[in-house]
């Protein structure tokens, strides 16, 4: 259904307010307009692009919660975190993350996303990786979105260690799995 500009922009604002993680492509489909029209509407309404919206939501919600490292040092954008329980981050694979010759993401970016999320989920001033076991299930390509999900499996391994599992997905497909034994300064 075609709407006039004013009505479309109002609905666009409401939709983004409800779901700040909605993409321009999804908005274009919802309102039956081009992605360029969505971008122009966002510009007129001073609504930042998706990456900036995710960052703003994360900073507001999590900046006081994450203790082991500053939010801006987490690789990817943290979209949810429950200290000593679980966390989720998003990493959009761009040109700077891939090998030029084949467009495949360098493994250290996927590892860094998972490892920094494992650090962030620890409710302690100090959290360091003591040991990691990782498996790459498939290669990730430029323009794919990696969603990493961290889950604290066990605390008190020895007195100062916590086991964190991180699974990373592109869509519903597992692309990376890691188990991180994290050293923490206290329990």
pLDDT in tens, the chain (187 residues): 677 888 999 998 888 888 777 888 889 898 999 999 999 998 888 888 877 776 666 555 555 555 556 666 788 988 888 888 999 999 999 999 999 999 999 999 999 999 999 999 988 888 889 999 999 999 999 999 999 999 999 776 567 889 999 999 999 999 999 999 999 876 4
* C-alpha neighbours within 13 Å on the C-beta side of residue 90: 16
Q: What is the Rg, in whole angstroms, of the alpha carbon atoms belonging to the chain?
A: 19
| Confidence at residue 69, expressed as pLDDT on a 0 to 100 scale | 62
| Confidence at residue 33, expressed as pLDDT on a 0 to 100 scale | 92
CB proximity list for 114: less than 8 A, separation 6 or greater: 134, 148, 150, 166, 168, 176, 178, 180
Phi, psi dihedral angles at 21 (to 5 degrees): -95, 5
CA dist., res. 100 & res. 150, Å (int): 30
What residue ranges do the domains of the chain occupy? 5-47, 64-184
CA dist., res. 146 & res. 93, Å (int): 7
Q: Nearest CA to 47 among 76, 17, 77, 6?
A: 17
Q: Architecture of 5-47 per CATH?
A: Orthogonal Bundle (1.10)
Q: Architecture of 64-184 per CATH?
A: Roll (3.10)
| Confidence at residue 18, expressed as pLDDT on a 0 to 100 scale | 80
């Amino acid at each position: 259904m075609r709407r006039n500009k004013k009505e479309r922009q109002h609905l666009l604002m409401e939709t983004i307010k409800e779901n700040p993680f909605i993409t321009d492509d999804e908005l274009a489909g919802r309102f039956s307009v081009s992605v360029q029209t969505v971008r122009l509407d966002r510009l007129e309404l001073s609504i930042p692009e998706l990456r900036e919206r995710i960052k703003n939501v994360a900073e507001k919600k999590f900046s006081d919660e994450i203790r082991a490292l500053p939010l801006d040092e987490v690789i990817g954008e943290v979209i949810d975190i429950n200290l000593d329980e679980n966390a989720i981050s998003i990493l959009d694979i761009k040109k700077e993350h891939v090998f030029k010759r084949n467009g495949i993401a360098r493994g250290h970016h996927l590892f860094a996303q998972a490892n920094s999320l494992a650090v962030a989920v620890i409710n302690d001033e100090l959290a360091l990786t003591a040991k990691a076991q990782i498996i790459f299930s498939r290669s990730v390509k430029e323009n794919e979105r990696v969603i990493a999900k961290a889950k604290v499996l066990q605390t008190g391994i020895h007195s100062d260690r916590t086991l964190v599992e991180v699974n990373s997905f592109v869509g519903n497909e597992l692309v990376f799995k890691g188990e991180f034994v994290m050293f923490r300064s206290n329990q």
